Structure 1
Amino acid sequence: MWQGADRRDYLAAERTLLAWIRTGLALMGFGFVVARCRLEPHLSELALR
C-alpha cells in the first residue's frame, strides 16, 4: 500500500495541516481573550453608573 517516501510525504502533509489547525485555534482563542479584556472595563464602568 504505502511505500517509504509516499508514507513519509503523506505524514508530513498531515502534520503540517494539523499544525495550521492548531495555530488557527490558538489565534482564535487569543482573539477572544483580547476582546474580553477590552470589553470588561467598559462593562464595569456601566455597572457603576
Structure 2
Amino acid sequence: MADISKMIDNGDLKTNVGSVLPFHDAVKAHEMLEGKLEHAKGRIVLKVVD
C-alpha cells in the first residue's frame, strides 16, 4: 500500500473516479454498476469515513 500511495502522490498512478457516494448508498452504487442508474464515466467509490 505504501508503494501505491507513493505512486499516486508522485503522479505516476492516476485513477478516473466518476462518482463518490456515502457508504449508506451502497445499493445505489450497485445499481449504477448494473446499469440501472446512470453515472459519470469512471470508478464508483464508496466513502466509508468522513
What's the TM-score once normalised by structure 2's chain length?
0.24
Q: Whose relative contact order is higher, 1 or 2, with alpha carbons under 8 Å and at least 6 apart?
A: 2
Structure with greater proportional strand content: 2
What's the TM-score once normalised by structure 1's chain length?
0.24
Structure with greater proportional helix content: 1
